[in-house]
Structure 1
Amino acid sequence: MTVETQQPWQDESLSPRERAQKLVAGMTLEQKIAQLHGAMETIDIYAASAQVAEAGEGLDDLADQFRVERHVAAIDELGIPRFRITNGPVGVGMGDGTPSPPATSLPMTIALAAGFDADLARQYGDIIGSETATLGQHVLEGPGVCLHRTTIAGRNFEYFSEDPYLSGVMGVEVTKAIQAHDIIAMGKHYVLNDQEYERFRANVEIDEHVMRELYLLPFEMLVKDADIAAFMSSYNRIRGVYATEYRYTLHDILRDEWGFEGYVQSDFWSCRSAAGSLNAGMDHEMPDAKWLNEDNVKAALQDTSLEIQTVDRALVRRYTQMFRFGQFERPYDPGEIDAKGHGAISRDIGAQLAVLLKNDGNLLPLDPNTGSIVVIGQSDFVDEACLGGGGSSKVDPLYTVKPMDGIRDVLDGLGSSADVTKVTVADDLSNLDEAREAAKAADAVVLMAGLIATEGADQKDANMLRDQNRMLAELLGNNPNTVVVLKDGNPVLMPWIDAAPAVLEVWNQGSEDGHVVADLLFGVVNPSGKVPTTYPRSENDTLYAGQPERYPGTDEGAGYPVIRYSEGLEMGYRWFQGQGIEPLFGFGFGLSYTTFSVDDVVVEAADGVNAPVVVSATVTNTGSVAGAEVVQVYVGVPSEGQPPKRLVGFQKVFVEPGESATATITIDPEATNHPFSVWDYASGGFATVAGEYAIHVGTSADDTPHTATLASSS
């Protein structure tokens, strides 16, 4: 008797779903229940979180304390492997087992979005997928495609942007690249986990059209454009129901409407019930069996609040994806990551993500032959590589390049003999006089400052911590050749901006921080990034200023915070434009070491917005160095309540000095981002309304000098 006869799910000629069905049919009830959850010993996460908060520690300490085991136990007699899960999305994070395996620490996801370049997203996802496979893992928990509704959300660093289309495009490419390595990509956090404040308790109230046109949109793109294999359900409540129990999003939308065929895993400890979660469409509990244990599941089956077919359905969904990617046949044989090769790619990607925010008098790039250069800042930003956000997605780096080491490497490569020194400013600014004197004495000054956010907590406000604004204010003005380098995971307030000749946003870069920053400072690379999330001038300009019901929420008698998305569609640049508020740096903005002109804009439409619209433009490099510009297309939809513009297309083009290149952007009305459509309550779907649509073309949301008008007959 062959193995296939004894265990028919081993027959590789069958489809993945057929194999999954046969496997589940051959399992005992106890085996099924054991596969519904992770293998970590159950803990009281709520008590543990309170304990950590009281001790003033972070989620990194919580993870270390409880040795999170990210796996499902194997069942050898059935040929079911130990199912190994690792976090993302900024590299291979907290993988199965402790300590986590080291990996390449990549730039934060917000930085990747600043690239406005799908090819960079593919390269980024390829590194993650390759390293996940090399380390013998099966699942990468990412990409994260929640939106930057507020500038202070703790996990903005691991989400892409404030715009659903940009987030969707980048997320799709990252997903495809990860899954090309036969790794399950897991989009997160589904859905409306746009803040960390009281994430275990908060309830989000939102109008249907707002949820559909903004917050669900990138998830829809992951399903339809990337065939993503899994989603992670979020912690928060939605309309009074926990996301892990909300059948409307988990089943009606995700499966019936979008056709999703993968499985849904709970965020860690976000599962709140046995029968309720499984019936709603959650398929897998992580990291333990707090709810989907034998006692609970058998009791639910006994009282018929849960049916065995629902248990089987959950397992078939996950096993189908495991068979799809050949994970049953793949032996556990972890290898060695190409640290040098992947680091070089990360360095190349990272330099293309930086945003040049200000450059008065073309101070940047600095002349590598400058006599003396002093680097000044607090320890997190000048002494060590800025690895970025804390929490479960934190990567244990294979290596790091410190700022001073990177600067010296790059200057050596340029044949420079510049004298580079450093002053580490104390967190309490007690040695600020020393830093001030060093700035006065140097030929050029590089001030490094920033922000490292973390999962589990939102920022109090958008100011940098430890009085860095005062540090910059007191150091700027002492030397005319002073550059501010920001290392952020969120947009920050800049009350000192008028005194800064040049500001370069490099983000939290990860392992290659030192090299990337030096490449940019000395012109080895020309920055070409664009702002992915609007920088407000003041906290008062945000959608939640003076509106506690919008954030952090109010107690409306339910016993938990209720957050109302009452701003509607006016979020991000849509808020600033809709309210007529001028941002400090708007969405899509970014300077260069060269200059560009965008001319000969043509909008071709065979049938208005009822057929594909092709936008072309000639981009000419009018400066003296090679560089890249991003042509952006926005649409003004003729429907009440719509903001002035929504991003519907973009293309980055690289142009040599004095030469021109053509950007061609096709906007398909049938695309998964519904570029010309709005949510129609009457039909329960997206619809194109009759009227005149404004097509805006330019290089940022606030700079679209080329406009055409198209009609819709709908």
Structure 2
Amino acid sequence: MDEHLPDWKNPALPPADRARALVAAMTLEQKISQLHGNMETVDIYALSNAIGTGADDESDEERMGQLMAQIRIDRHVVGIDELGVPRMRVTNGPVGVGMGDGTPSPPATALPMTIGVAASFDPAVAAAYGDVIGAEAAHLGQHVLEGPGVCLHRTPIAGRNFEYFSEDPYLSGVMGVEVTKAIQGHDVIAMAKHFVLNDQEHERFRANVVVDEHVLRELYLIPFEMCCKDAEVAAVMSAYNRIRGTYATENHATLTDILRSEWGWEGYVQSDFWSCRSAAPSLNAGMDLEMPDAKWLNEEAVTAALRDTSLEIETVDRALSRRFTQMFRFGQFERPYAPTAIPAERHGAVARRIGAEMAVLLKNDVDLLPLPASVGRVLLVGMAEYAGRACQGGGGSSKVDPLYTVDPLSGTRDVLAELGSDATVDLVVVERDRSNLAEATEAAATADVVVVMAGLVATEGVDLASPSLPFGQDEMVEALLAANPRTVVVLKDSTPVLLPWIDRAESVIEVWNQGAEDGHVVAELLWGVVNPSGKVPTTYAARAEDLMHHGDPVRYPGTDEGSGYPTMRYTEGLRVGYRWFQSEGIAPLFPFGHGLSYTTFALEDVAVATAAPDGTRPVEVSVTVRNTGTRDGAEVVQVYLGLPVDGQPPRRLVGFAKVRVAVGGSERVTVTVDPAASHHPFSVWDHAAGDFRVRPGRYAVHVGTSSEDDAAVVELDLRG
């Protein structure tokens, strides 16, 4: 080692020591240059208004695409050559590498949507998903991957549900942890987002969210807490919205008191793009990096704040040290910028495999599925986005420029050829105005099997007008169901939707927005090459009136309480998702955790045991899963807990395990629920103690295959 080498260039020193040494060597001008990104400042607010001014036949996704095309997204922080500080390259990436440093972004693998990862109920799927994203970010020379997104599906109309996992905090946290670990396994910084309560896109730059403390702690913070504690996520992205009147980027309670003082987290906080609203207040609150430009953390504003002592230089140093520590942690100062080619075929195979794992067989009343290889004449029919081409979701900054895509027609023909089938496959694309629907129904009537492909592609920047299929697709589905009784409905959604025709459909499978391998994945599912094993990650409602926010503007979209901006009050409390339906006694169309298979399973011999009944030792829930059908398959054992505490919903998910069982076989599964785990499975927030506490009483342990399954309920007495 060169004895004259400065400490920040000494890889033998701890990352935090190197970071402090580097900051100490920097001039004020250099420090300020590292507080912000370097895109040319644009008027994002004016551009955002363009979303609502497009042609009537354009989707919100298309308008968002036009908006993003007007912006040169230079996602980077400048380097400092004389100090050896590299240009820090940042890419978006909850659903694959997209919108990286520079425009256009280089092509990458278009993965299925994040909601589908949660639908797999399989941490291994989340790990494989994150592995592809992290590997491709590394191939492209990026230092930071803005993901995973771990906000909750509070409503099914939220525009970014596709890049969040689910309505349940524990499921979202488990998946977020696995994705984070996999990304950072490639020495790429992962960034959990959007912190916190960014549960809608409506008025996201202005909206205020008011929520009770115990609700914030027991629901919305849980996935972030899990990512920080269990995955040691290196960065967190602060949200656009206000939290109890204070912008998320200026909120000391969340950015410092919770993230750092309570959780002991040591990463850095980046603003969402243009969510920074000030210089001194943001840095003082705990935000460390403004992106993508220097609207606030520029030399003039920061210098003025230092001069008038509303900001101290130690706070600036703290912000820089936090980020440099993570860059040193992952060896990013020593790594040269040398992009390499993405292995498209290998990563595409992963996308194909995990895409099949997340499909949810919602309904199969007469066992029409799986289809036989000798099916005869098959007609694929639907609108262009869903039947004519691969359904790639993720409108807005999450959009991935795909290396390749497999369309439904070519993908179906590929799979049938692999099966040695002589079936014929044709395609009819229904126009958005349904002007050729009569021709489509006529073709459907003469087919041996009709596969209707319908769906919804949501986008960043705008919420859905309703939880329904757009462009009159419900009318299309109903007409095609009437034309041929041997009709399968394939849903390709960004979020659960209302299905008014469900009673007339005998076979329905939800595959989500699949991305590159859409055509292959769907065909493998329909013909039984893969046995579907996904589960509903967010409840399907039977009616719009059954949804928590319906008819209550206080909850959504908020009301102006005199400040000029909308305030949303989460008056539903803990009653979100399946907890809402169960608390209110409302029967869902398809409950959280529901999902059928081409085989059948039985759960037997449930046992619940703990070494100490005081709420401090793990509880082990064991069950035998028996395959009682005719095909190999996978089932998800789900464990829910009913707490003996007033005001708590009937149950919460506290554990799950996906198990594969051969025909005629059985597997013994044990799910361990640890009271000390970061998701606080047995605990409630104690306002007086300012911490989570286990209350004494009789807990109900529900073991089944959905949130509504009460096949086994075991009582457990805890002293607390």
Structure 2 residue corresponding to 1:325, chosen from 306, 317, 330: 330
**Alignment pair present for 1:624 and 2:630:** yes
**Alignment pair present for 1:615 and 2:614:** no
8 Å CA contact 1:543, 1:575 repeated in 2: yes
Pick which of 58-67 and 337-346 moved more: 58-67
Q: What do residues 73-117 of structure 1 show as CA deviations (whole Å, max 9, x unaligned)?
A: 111111011100000100111111111011111110000000000
Mapped partners of 2:336, 2:611: distance in 1:
54
Corresponding letter in the other structure for 1:680: D
Please list every run of 5 or more consecutive structure 2 residues that lacks an aligned counterpart in the other structure: 56-61
What is the DSSP-based 3-state SS (H/G/I as helix, E as strand, rest coil) of the residue aligned with 2:626? strand
Structure 2 residue corresponding to 1:581, chosen from 575, 578, 586: 586
1:45 aligns to what?
44
Show the 5 A alignment for 1:448-597. Answer: 448-597=453-602
Corresponding letter in the other structure for 2:517: E
1:405–1:176 CA distance, 2 compared to 1 (3 A): same
**Alignment pair present for 1:96 and 2:95:** no
What is the DSSP-based 3-state SS (H/G/I as helix, E as strand, rest coil) of the residue aligned with 1:574? helix
**Alignment pair present for 1:678 and 2:684:** yes
8 Å CA contact 2:7, 2:13 repeated in 1: no
Structure 2 residue corresponding to 1:207, chosen from 200, 205, 212: 212
1:52–1:148 CA distance, 2 compared to 1 (3 A): closer
2:66 aligns to what?
61
What is the DSSP-based 3-state SS (H/G/I as helix, E as strand, rest coil) of the residue aligned with 1:476? helix
Q: What do residues 100-150 of structure 1 show as CA deviations (whole Å, max 9, x unaligned)?
A: 011111110000000000111111111111111011000000000000000
8 Å CA contact 2:381, 2:427 repeated in 1: yes
Mapped partners of 1:559, 1:114: distance in 2:
39
Pick which of 489-498 and 2-11 moved more: 2-11
What is the DSSP-based 3-state SS (H/G/I as helix, E as strand, rest coil) of the residue aligned with 2:70? helix
What is the DSSP-based 3-state SS (H/G/I as helix, E as strand, rest coil) of the residue aligned with 2:656? strand
2:695 aligns to what?
689
Per the TM alignment, residue 62 of structure 1 is displaced from its structure 2 partner at its CA by: 2.4
What is the DSSP-based 3-state SS (H/G/I as helix, E as strand, rest coil) of the residue aligned with 1:486? strand
Q: What do residues 212-270 of structure 1 show as CA deviations (whole Å, max 9, x unaligned)?
A: 00000000000110000000000000000000000000000000000110000000000
Mapped partners of 1:472, 1:4: distance in 2:
74
What is the DSSP-based 3-state SS (H/G/I as helix, E as strand, rest coil) of the residue aligned with 1:313? helix
8 Å CA contact 2:177, 2:226 repeated in 1: yes
Mapped partners of 1:402, 1:115: distance in 2:
23
2:610 aligns to what?
605
Mapped partners of 2:52, 2:448: distance in 1:
45
Mapped partners of 1:36, 1:43: distance in 2:
18
What is the DSSP-based 3-state SS (H/G/I as helix, E as strand, rest coil) of the residue aligned with 2:483? coil
Mapped partners of 1:334, 1:4: distance in 2:
32
Show the 5 A alignment for 1:358-369. Answer: 358-369=363-374
Mapped partners of 2:639, 2:63: distance in 1:
41
1:16 aligns to what?
15
What is the DSSP-based 3-state SS (H/G/I as helix, E as strand, rest coil) of the residue aligned with 2:607? strand
8 Å CA contact 1:37, 1:288 repeated in 2: yes
Mapped partners of 1:359, 1:8: distance in 2:
65
1:5 aligns to what?
4
Pick which of 470-479 and 3-12 moved more: 3-12
Per the TM alignment, residue 50 of structure 1 is displaced from its structure 2 partner at its CA by: 2.2
Identity, % of aligned positions: 66
2:231 aligns to what?
226
Per the TM alignment, residue 496 of structure 1 is displaced from its structure 2 partner at its CA by: 0.4
1:421 aligns to what?
426
**Alignment pair present for 1:706 and 2:712:** yes
8 Å CA contact 1:182, 1:326 repeated in 2: yes
* TM-score normalised over the length of structure 2: 0.98
Per the TM alignment, residue 44 of structure 1 is displaced from its structure 2 partner at its CA by: 1.8
Corresponding letter in the other structure for 2:26: M
Show the 5 A alignment for 1:336-485. Answer: 336-485=341-490
Mapped partners of 2:372, 2:640: distance in 1:
38
Mapped partners of 2:230, 2:578: distance in 1:
25
8 Å CA contact 1:534, 1:586 repeated in 2: yes
Mapped partners of 1:444, 1:471: distance in 2:
16
8 Å CA contact 2:454, 2:492 repeated in 1: yes
Mapped partners of 1:250, 1:449: distance in 2:
41
Structure 1 residue corresponding to 2:653, chosen from 647, 655, 661: 647
Mapped partners of 1:417, 1:343: distance in 2:
27
Mapped partners of 1:287, 1:55: distance in 2:
26
Q: What do residues 152-202 of structure 1 show as CA deviations (whole Å, max 9, x unaligned)?
A: 000000000000000000000000000010000000000000000000000
2:222 aligns to what?
217
Per the TM alignment, residue 354 of structure 1 is displaced from its structure 2 partner at its CA by: 0.1
8 Å CA contact 2:20, 2:321 repeated in 1: yes
8 Å CA contact 2:50, 2:63 repeated in 1: no
Per the TM alignment, residue 6 of structure 1 is displaced from its structure 2 partner at its CA by: 5.1
Structure 2 residue corresponding to 1:80, chosen from 79, 82, 85: 85
2:254 aligns to what?
249
1:664 aligns to what?
670
What is the DSSP-based 3-state SS (H/G/I as helix, E as strand, rest coil) of the residue aligned with 1:477? helix
1:474–1:324 CA distance, 2 compared to 1 (3 A): same
1:148 aligns to what?
153
Mapped partners of 2:574, 2:322: distance in 1:
34
Show the 5 A alignment for 1:276-355. Answer: 276-355=281-360
Per the TM alignment, residue 474 of structure 1 is displaced from its structure 2 partner at its CA by: 1.2
Mapped partners of 1:283, 1:63: distance in 2:
25
Q: What do residues 574-633 of structure 1 show as CA deviations (whole Å, max 9, x unaligned)?
A: 000000000000000000000000111111122234321101111111111110000000
What is the DSSP-based 3-state SS (H/G/I as helix, E as strand, rest coil) of the residue aligned with 2:283? helix
Mapped partners of 1:704, 1:278: distance in 2:
50
Mapped partners of 1:409, 1:67: distance in 2:
39
Corresponding letter in the other structure for 1:17: A
Structure 2 residue corresponding to 1:176, chosen from 176, 181, 186: 181
8 Å CA contact 1:115, 1:528 repeated in 2: yes
Mapped partners of 1:464, 1:59: distance in 2:
19
Per the TM alignment, residue 368 of structure 1 is displaced from its structure 2 partner at its CA by: 1.6
Q: What do residues 510-542 of structure 1 show as CA deviations (whole Å, max 9, x unaligned)?
A: 100000000001000000000000000011001
Task: Give RMSD over aligned pairs.
Answer: 1.0
Q: What do residues 302-333 of structure 1 show as CA deviations (whole Å, max 9, x unaligned)?
A: 00000000000000000000000000000000
| Aligned residues between the structures | 713
8 Å CA contact 1:650, 1:665 repeated in 2: yes
Per the TM alignment, residue 60 of structure 1 is displaced from its structure 2 partner at its CA by: 2.4
**Alignment pair present for 1:263 and 2:268:** yes
Per the TM alignment, residue 475 of structure 1 is displaced from its structure 2 partner at its CA by: 1.2
Q: What do residues 623-663 of structure 1 show as CA deviations (whole Å, max 9, x unaligned)?
A: 11110000000000111100000000000000111110111
Corresponding letter in the other structure for 1:119: A
1:363–1:279 CA distance, 2 compared to 1 (3 A): same
What is the DSSP-based 3-state SS (H/G/I as helix, E as strand, rest coil) of the residue aligned with 1:176? helix
8 Å CA contact 1:73, 1:81 repeated in 2: yes
Per the TM alignment, residue 3 of structure 1 is displaced from its structure 2 partner at its CA by: 6.3
Mapped partners of 1:260, 1:396: distance in 2:
34
**Alignment pair present for 1:123 and 2:128:** yes
Mapped partners of 1:438, 1:306: distance in 2:
70
Mapped partners of 2:66, 2:28: distance in 1:
37
* TM-score normalised over the length of structure 1: 0.99
8 Å CA contact 1:3, 1:10 repeated in 2: no
Please list every run of 5 or more consecutive structure 1 residues that lacks an aligned counterpart in the other structure: none
8 Å CA contact 1:4, 1:11 repeated in 2: no
